[in-house]
Structure 1
């Protein structure tokens, strides 16, 4: 299927900005510049997220004493709810609670689920495995505080996009591989265009290397900041596709973008989960690129994706 026409127009404008020198590829910027530009895209991609959702600011203390910000999103007037732990993407280098605020609002707006969004420390200031440890600590904190927050600790879904999805897979695998490290067993997984193998490139890395929002060179830039040593990329907590001896995990909903350098490794990870006995629902979003979940203001196709996700979660009850 060709590119979504609205998204194609947006990408053409972005390309024009490069030709006129108004913007540059992320991997050519400093870390500080890249973070600023990424944050600024949020208001363009989804300028009008649901405003009625109640947002509570929280803090989580990590194992080394570092205090991490977090947020809890829920529709007003809701009682005890199942929870979605939503972990933001950004290549471990960019991204924040603010950049992915619209996603959390849209998942919480129906009133069916509360959304817990934890922050984690970014690279290069904090390299591997800090993001993994921060995410585990935040997830365990949520399980401990579920009753106080009026959340159902028996139904916690782990979710995320891009490397946020990678961190969600870490939680799901940890729950089975080393269950003593996680205080709950995930109810389900929502994995949007996950990074599953940083150790090699596949055909989609070459086919969609440029001009489709996320660039292959930018991926490498991210990985160099987070995993400066090649051996780190072979760790399953960075490349879950390399996890060995997997048994059945929580049911997984995997949503990939057709025009994404990560497409092939996403397909490969879905196959690995199926081989492990995990129930997998794989959706390929035709005509869309990486980061589509933040694009409600660009293309009308995104609203239907959220509806499908929430419908799938209800089927897991």
Structure 2
């Protein structure tokens, strides 16, 4: 279907992409963190707590969202998007609140270290270590000890897939579900391998021609983009991974790699649910979920998280 008319108005107002534009991380972060709604107008949750988690590599800020009073909770770790060099606990507060309330999960949002100050694998290790910390602080978090899920959008979806692979290999804890929201799963941009990178590569908020530059902040040094912890779609063995929900957007450059990853998971025996939202672009959660066509997205995520784990 065509781009939603309300979104098209915004797209038409954006100046054409300038390949000579220099991306300055600090400036991009300020723009990315700018809230759409004031806190009092966001979905209200029972409790919100900020704290610092000490891990072997870094002290990592987290924000913990509690949906209501209970003796125990399933727990969801959320890894924010922002191309690994932007995004924060603030940038995704509006997204996490409705996920928390629709799912009934206690959500731990992870403020992992950002590139270029902290290139690969800093963000990945922070996400893994905070997840491990959750399992070691069951009493403090009132975790039910059974349901431990991951969710993330865009580059955060990459981190979800990579942490799931790490957890399978290390066997230090067991993940039950993974939610990948318009994920970026292949960081080798030397060749556009997916039709959506070309079809949706210009004029839809995310410019495919800029992806190598943006992700270059994260991939400092001699990083192998074929490694599955960098580009999870390159992993051939996807057996014994958590039940997955993969959400994609019609006018997103990353659409096809997300859908291919879902197919690959399914072929390896992982139960997968998918949803492509039509007429919408990358990064629409928190920005366009007020539109009728997309209001159900948080309920859909919540329903997936509340279901019993399905083993194929």
On whether the aligned pair clears a TM of 0.5, the verdict is: yes
Tell me what 2:89 maps to: 97
Q: Provide, for residues 40-66 of structure 1, a one-character-per-residue CA deviation record: whole Å limited to 9, x for no partner.
A: 2x32699932134410112111222x2
Distance change (3 Å), C-alpha of 1:45 and 1:240: farther
Q: Distance in 1 between matches of 2:257 and 2:168?
A: 22
Q: Please list, as runs of the form range in 1=range in 2, the aligned pairs for 1:245-260 lying within 5 A after superposition.
A: 245-260=237-252
Q: Which runs of 5+ in 2 are unaligned?
A: none
Give a deviation string over 1:238-257, Cα, whole Å, max 9, x none: 10011133313111000001
Cα separation, partners in 2 of 1:145 and 1:162, compared to 1, 3 Å: same
Partner of residue 77, structure 2? 85
Shift of 1:258: 0.6
Q: How does 1:43-192 map to 2 (within 5 A)?
A: 43=36, 48-64=41-57, 66-110=58-102, 112-179=104-171, 183-192=172-181
Q: Distance in 1 between matches of 2:36 and 2:20?
A: 18
Aligned residues of 1:81 and 1:152 also touching (Cα < 8 A): yes
Deviation at 1:229, TM superposition (A): 4.5
How many residues get paired? Answer: 306
Separation in 1, partners of 2:93, 2:262: 27
User: What does residue 36 of structure 1 align with?
Assistant: 30
TM-score, structure 1 normalization: 0.89
Runs of 4+ residues deviating >4 angstroms = 23-27, 44-47
In 2, the alpha carbon distance for the partners of 1:3 and 1:216 equals 18
Of 180, 185, 201, which aligns to 1:196?
A: 185
Q: Taking structure 1 as reference, are residues 290 and 191 closer, same or farther at Cα in structure 2, changes over 3 Å only? A: same
In structure 1, how many angstroms separate the alpha carbons of the residues matched to 2:118 and 2:227?
Answer: 17
Worse-matched range after superposition: 211-220 or 100-109: 211-220
The answer to whether 1:217 aligns with 2:216 is no
Matched, 1:2 2:2: yes
Contact 2:165–2:229 at 8 Å: present in 1 too?
no
Q: Is the 8 A contact 1:160 1:191 kept in 2?
A: yes
Shift, 1:11, TM fit: 2.2
SS in structure 2 at match of 1:157: strand
Q: Let me know the Cα RMSD of the aligned residues.
A: 2.3
Using a 3 Å threshold, how does the CA distance of structure 1 residues 305 and 110 change in structure 2: closer, same or farther?
closer
Distance in 1, Cα, partners of 2:160 & 2:81: 11
Distance across 2 between alignment mates of 1:241 and 1:276: 13
Alignment partner of 2:298: what SS? helix
1:46–1:296 CA contact under 8 A, matched in 2: no
Is 1:232 paired with 2:224? yes
Q: Is the 8 A contact 2:77 2:151 kept in 1?
A: yes
Residue in structure 2 matched with residue 282 of structure 1 by the alignment: 274
